[in-house]
A and B are shown apart, each in its own frame.
Chain A
């Protein structure tokens, strides 16, 4: 008989903790930075900003302890919906689709979409209509981006989408773009960081920041609204906004109006230029199909061009590493190791932003070169091992037949290596097709970026994600088929 003896471990030595407050888990993006949410320079583990303080007010009012969680700005709502957080805050823009899918707090801050231009243009540019044919930068997936897309239709403005709100302004100073349309909070912060441009006083549109809760947690939202309202009345919000330099007469007027009305405004952002309001369902899909098709064409064209560069350069690197002298071999091996050992995202950043003082590459060209240079390293390894896999006796036989070294390569070694390299090359092309989504960080709106924009507007990744996946498959599957057929034909030999 077996007697199970439950281990009667010693009582825990830790002192009995004070009854811990329940947590208020809130999600935000510290990459968005001050004045919303930023890592405290004195202690990067701690965040600060007006959204941080507001989250603190809400937590305090609820008798909870705030706990911050980092999440990418464009995914904050969806993290909240998944239940990762109780509330999401980080300069989230109030918009109709958001209200349709989530419980949204009262609009606690009113921002103005403003144009930033170079000093020479400040007298001329006052509205989007003044920017016909000009490149206007903004953050992707924002109200400002939707305004620009509308202005593209109406005035011929060229929208340029960024993944961060720093580079639109540095690129404005460098002349890569002609204007930036963003929230006045962001524009003013950028001006403190990189002076040299002018923020126009004209208000292109108004919008509001809100906190987002999961739909089934409307009760929590209502409590938070009551707390925020109370803090507006007692001046705590004003003090916070003042501390972060975003309080002005317009904000004061907005708060007075908000407090005097019993209900929060039921519609988001009232703007002089009406924001396009995407419908839902099949109509949205149809509306986005042309944009997705265009983005898919960019993805495919860019990937093909980058692959061509990678194949040519990779072939040269492989030949250099197999046939070259000691110095050539060492230099090429170093290149390959550096490129393979660092993220392609970093390489794209350095190429596009880091080197912009020396060479100012257009975004698409930078994307092609960046991806091409990166994949050349991988291609070169494929070709190198393929070249080394050709039996030495075949090369010797070619020599005894009087073929020159170049003829050996061209007629005997190269063609056979190419057959060996075909399958891994196909793999790499498919990988490149997918990696090309990274170039949205340098303002190229390709398929994934376009899908993200669509998903943000639709408030869901389900349909856009499926559609995007289908398009990627439609691009990669035929290629794999062709490769398999070629392989089958060559395998006889």
Chain B
């Protein structure tokens, strides 16, 4: 594992979500979601489609306002009410990175420029330093050879790794990923699980939404199952997935078996 993706580990939880409530169009999407995440830990946030998994991530990066509860990321807190202005979110932006389901790479920029954009423009890094930092990140994620390509020229798996590199460019202690296996074939899912374990081993906390049970087993330390806007089961990944105690979890397991990962 390269130094580019490792960071110092401290003991306290780096991500705390406490009693998160959120309604859209008269409908309660989240009804008091709480979970905690330690540095070096991977948590799989599971649930059927529409359970509100993505909404939890979006609230945690201040893309979605919420009505009640509290979100704290490595000492930076978000409170209920409208989303603060971007200038008030500078602190948060350096604490948490997000990898979108469709990667959302900037299609007019090369892979390298995608990764360099935030360091150069958001925190004013010297372009030369940002270039070498981008290269180390891309190398650590195995896509350095694609640095000069445009997003339309690379594969889906490569695009995901570039998106991870871009989300890590500001060196945040927390990384959120939305449905990372949605567009990956089984072999790539296994490789991705390995990469994410490496990121966790290097001291980052990862919160990953997925309904891919095999992937969750391979990558997660803990699993939180979301159903009807609430966390109905939370605990050690093996225990939750091998011996589910809640009907919603059993339901999820029976429908979302997922193909096994190559070992």
Nearest chain-A residue to B176 (Cβ)? A400
Number of A residues near B (Cβ < 8 Å) is 22
Q: How far is the CA of A233 from the CA of B178 in the complex (A)?
A: 100
Produce 1/0 per residue, B144-162, CB < 8 A to A.
Answer: 0000001111000000000
Nearest chain-A residue to B101 (Cβ)? A393
Tell me whether B169 is interfacial, beta carbon within 8 Å: yes
The answer to whether A400 touches B93 (Cβ under 8 A) is yes
Q: How far is the CA of A398 from the CA of B61 in the complex (A)?
A: 12
Tell me whether A469 is interfacial, beta carbon within 8 Å: no
Tell me whether A404 is interfacial, beta carbon within 8 Å: yes
Min distance, Cβ A301 to any Cβ of chain B, angstroms: 32
* A396-B106 contact, Cβ under 8 Å, with A403-B118, A403-B122, A492-B150: no
Tell me whether B107 is interfacial, beta carbon within 8 Å: yes
Of the residues A396, A399, A415, contact of B108 by C-beta under 8 Å: A415
Of the residues A397, A399, A490, contact of B86 by C-beta under 8 Å: A399
Within 463-493 of A, Cβ neighbours of B (below 8 Å) are at 490, 492-493
Nearest chain-B residue to A405 (Cβ)? B86
Min distance, Cβ B97 to any Cβ of chain A, angstroms: 7
The answer to whether B150 touches A396 (Cβ under 8 A) is no
The answer to whether B102 touches A402 (Cβ under 8 A) is no
Most buried by A among B86, B97, B150, B151: B86
Tell me whether A338 is interfacial, beta carbon within 8 Å: no
The answer to whether A398 touches B106 (Cβ under 8 A) is yes
Tell me whether A416 is interfacial, beta carbon within 8 Å: yes
Please name all residues of chain B whose beta carbon is closer than 8 Å to the beta carbon of A402 when the two chains form the complex: 86, 89-90, 93-94, 118, 122-123, 170
* A391-B93 contact, Cβ under 8 Å, with A399-B86, A400-B61, A403-B118: no
Please name all residues of chain A whose beta carbon is closer than 8 Å to the beta carbon of B27 when the two chains form the complex: none
Tell me whether A191 is interfacial, beta carbon within 8 Å: no
Within 379-402 of A, Cβ neighbours of B (below 8 Å) are at 391, 393-394, 396-402
Tell me whether B128 is interfacial, beta carbon within 8 Å: no
Tell me whether A279 is interfacial, beta carbon within 8 Å: no
The answer to whether A401 touches B153 (Cβ under 8 A) is no
Min distance, Cβ B176 to any Cβ of chain A, angstroms: 9
Tell me whether A421 is interfacial, beta carbon within 8 Å: no
Q: How far is the CA of A398 from the CA of B152 in the complex (A)?
A: 18
Nearest chain-A residue to B96 (Cβ)? A400
Produce 1/0 per residue, B222-240, CB < 8 A to A.
Answer: 0000000000000000000
Nearest chain-A residue to B166 (Cβ)? A401
The answer to whether A401 touches B117 (Cβ under 8 A) is yes
Please name all residues of chain A whose beta carbon is closer than 8 Å to the beta carbon of B122 when the two chains form the complex: 401-403, 407
* A419-B86 contact, Cβ under 8 Å, with A411-B121, A493-B150: no
The answer to whether B121 touches A394 (Cβ under 8 A) is no
Please name all residues of chain B whose beta carbon is closer than 8 Å to the beta carbon of A416 when the two chains form the complex: 106-108
Please name all residues of chain B whose beta carbon is closer than 8 Å to the beta carbon of A393 when the two chains form the complex: 100, 102, 104
Please name all residues of chain B whose beta carbon is closer than 8 Å to the beta carbon of A397 when the two chains form the complex: 98, 100, 104-106, 166
The answer to whether A492 touches B108 (Cβ under 8 A) is no
* A493-B152 contact, Cβ under 8 Å, with A396-B63, A397-B98, A402-B118: yes
* A396-B117 contact, Cβ under 8 Å, with A402-B122, A405-B86, A492-B152: no
The answer to whether A394 touches B104 (Cβ under 8 A) is yes
Please name all residues of chain B whose beta carbon is closer than 8 Å to the beta carbon of A394 when the two chains form the complex: 104-107
Please name all residues of chain B whose beta carbon is closer than 8 Å to the beta carbon of A419 when the two chains form the complex: 108
Please name all residues of chain B whose beta carbon is closer than 8 Å to the beta carbon of A411 when the two chains form the complex: 117, 121
Within 355-394 of A, Cβ neighbours of B (below 8 Å) are at 391, 393-394
Q: How far is the CA of A400 from the CA of B177 in the complex (A)?
A: 13
Q: How far is the CA of A490 from the CA of B61 in the complex (A)?
A: 32
Tell me whether A412 is interfacial, beta carbon within 8 Å: yes
The answer to whether A400 touches B98 (Cβ under 8 A) is yes
Q: How far is the CA of A472 from the CA of B96 in the complex (A)?
A: 57
The answer to whether A400 touches B121 (Cβ under 8 A) is no
Tell me whether B87 is interfacial, beta carbon within 8 Å: yes
Nearest chain-A residue to B123 (Cβ)? A402
Please name all residues of chain B whose beta carbon is closer than 8 Å to the beta carbon of A400 when the two chains form the complex: 61, 63, 93, 96-98, 167
Q: How far is the CA of A189 from the CA of B169 in the complex (A)?
A: 79
Produce 1/0 per residue, B99-140, CB < 8 A to A.
Answer: 010101111110000000110011100000000000000000
Most buried by B among A391, A396, A401: A401
Of the residues A405, A407, A490, A492, contact of B153 by C-beta under 8 Å: A492
What 5 A-B pairs are tightest by C-beta distance, nearest first?
A: A402-B93, A402-B122, A401-B118, A393-B104, A397-B104
Given contacts A394-B106, A397-B106, A401-B93, 20 further A-B contacts (CB under 8 A): A394-B104, A394-B105, A396-B63, A397-B98, A398-B106, A398-B117, A401-B122, A401-B166, A402-B93, A402-B94, A403-B117, A403-B118, A404-B86, A411-B121, A415-B108, A416-B106, A416-B107, A492-B152, A493-B107, A493-B152
Give 22 A-B contacts (CB < 8 Å), ordered by A residue. Answer: A391-B104, A396-B100, A397-B106, A397-B166, A400-B63, A401-B93, A401-B117, A401-B167, A401-B170, A402-B90, A402-B94, A402-B118, A402-B122, A402-B170, A403-B121, A403-B122, A416-B107, A419-B108, A492-B153, A493-B108, A493-B151, A493-B152
A residues with a Cβ closer than 8 A to B are 391, 393-394, 396-405, 407, 411-412, 415-416, 419, 490, 492-493
